Amino acid sequence: MYKFTHVNATTVADAATTLGKGSAQVIAGGTDLLTYMKGMCSPNPPTTLVNIKNVTGLDYIKVDGTTLKIGALTSLADIAASTVVSGGWNVLAQAAKAAASPELRSQGTLGGNICQKPRCIYFRNEQNAFSCLRKDSKGSCFALVGVNTYHSIFGAVGGCIAVCPSDTAPALVALGASIVTNKKTWAAADFFVLNMTATDATREQINALAADEIVTEIQVPALAAGTKSTYMKFAFRKAIDFPLVSAAVVVTSAAGTVSKASIVLGGVYNSPKRATDAETSITGKAVTTATADAAGAATAAVATPTALPANKYKAQIAKTLIKRALLASI
């Protein structure tokens, strides 16, 4: 385990001040960060962990007007169990429920879920045995020439083919959510952007947060009348496993015809990947087995040429998940 100093912050401003001094990271539930620290995976470990669990007012689920607001410290278990979330934004409740295990969902927070680090086997290699490009700008992507069975099927970003492992991220992008921090409000689609020109510690992130930026709230707009949403995930194990592929689908229909579809894949790219070809394919049509299959096929056709020989199978899983999630959303 890396040595670190533990600092208890009582306000977001307190936490930001400590983070601003450098070599510090937020700790919330600790389910991701502590395993990373114990594995001694990083050449840039934080020397200070800033505990935000004592900051009051960051653990809530409420509807303000028509907007769903969730505090960053809200546990995945609370989101999964919330009838408010499942009633209006089912895809998010299902995504939270699909993550990890009951124990990890109880301890893990939504803020931590959207800020967790990649799960690439080279990135996570204990004792930092591989000089991975994601942690070291002078390193290289070992997955490109080594084991890439679980990696991106839509190409690399800045030479890295690790995927975004978060279950809630694709749901938040599909819902058009916003991520509120102490500095600004991000559209979810802009938040999950890998910055390979950032400093070595910052490029380990799956998002574009600044080093002293703290997520405080997640906001999700009300969905239009006639909208249904579904999250489906495929992993090798049925319990406690990250998505090989997941699909978050939000579909608005009128008179049996899809007027708007938001389809976002997880586990297939550095960030949640919008399946625009599937969206175009299903819009203006009734969702049937045939049209849902065609929508999935449209995205699989785009992924297959960019997929690697060892992970082309994920394009077929994406196709099937899009089809099934569309059929479950009518």
Ligand X SMILES: Cc1cc2nc3c(=O)[nH]c(=O)nc-3n(C[C@H](O)[C@H](O)[C@H](O)COP(=O)(O)OP(=O)(O)OC[C@H]3O[C@@H](n4cnc5c(N)ncnc54)[C@H](O)[C@@H]3O)c2cc1C
- CB 164 within 8 Å of CB 172: no
Q: Which residue has the tokens 């069975």?
A: 149
Is residue 167 within the footprint of ligand X (CB under 6 A)? yes
User: Least separation, in Å, of the C-beta of 291 and ligand X?
Assistant: 30
Is residue 302 within the footprint of ligand X (CB under 6 A)? no
Q: Rounded to an integer, what distance in angstroms lies between the CA atom of residue 143 and that of residue 127?
A: 17
Closer of 41 and 209 to ligand X (Cβ): 209
Please provide residue 81's backbone torsions phi and psi, each rounded to the nearest 5 degrees: -90, -10
Q: Rounded to an integer, what distance in angstroms lies between the CA atom of residue 39 and that of residue 267?
A: 22
Query: How many positions of this chain bind ligand X (CB under 6 A)?
Result: 33
Query: According to CB under 6 A, which residues from 117 to 136 bind ligand X?
Result: 117
- Give the residue at shortest CB distance from ligand X: 112
Per-residue binder mask for ligand X (CB under 6 A), 84-113, x = binder? ---------------xx---x--xxx-xxx
Which of residues 18, 32, 135, 218 is near ligand X by CB under 6 A? 32
Region from 131-139, 235-243, 273-281, 322-330 binding ligand X, contact rule CB under 6 A: 235-243
Which of residues 9, 18, 24, 25 is near ligand X by CB under 6 A? 25
User: Least separation, in Å, of the C-beta of 143 and ligand X?
Assistant: 19
Judge residue 197's burial from the number of C-beta atoms within 10 Å of its C-beta, 0-12 exposed, 13-18 middle, 19 or more buried. Answer: exposed
How many other CB atoms are found less than 10 A from the CB of residue 1? Answer: 9
Q: Rounded to an integer, what distance in angstroms lies between the CA atom of residue 46 and that of residue 42?
A: 9
How many other CB atoms are found less than 10 A from the CB of residue 159? Answer: 12
**229 beta partners:** 250
User: Least separation, in Å, of the C-beta of 38 and ligand X?
Assistant: 10
Is residue 215 within the footprint of ligand X (CB under 6 A)? yes
Chain centroid, CA 251 distance in Å:
20
User: Least separation, in Å, of the C-beta of 256 and ligand X?
Assistant: 34
Which of residues 116, 178, 270, 329 is near ligand X by CB under 6 A? 116
Q: Rounded to an integer, what distance in angstroms lies between the CA atom of residue 279 and that of residue 275?
A: 6
Region from 2-10, 25-33, 153-161, 322-330 binding ligand X, contact rule CB under 6 A: 25-33
Give the alpha-carbon dihedral of 288, 289, 290, 291, to 10 degrees: 50
* Residues at the contact surface with ligand X, assessed by CB under 6 A: 25-33, 35, 72, 76, 99-100, 104, 107-109, 111-113, 115-117, 165-167, 209, 214-215, 240-242
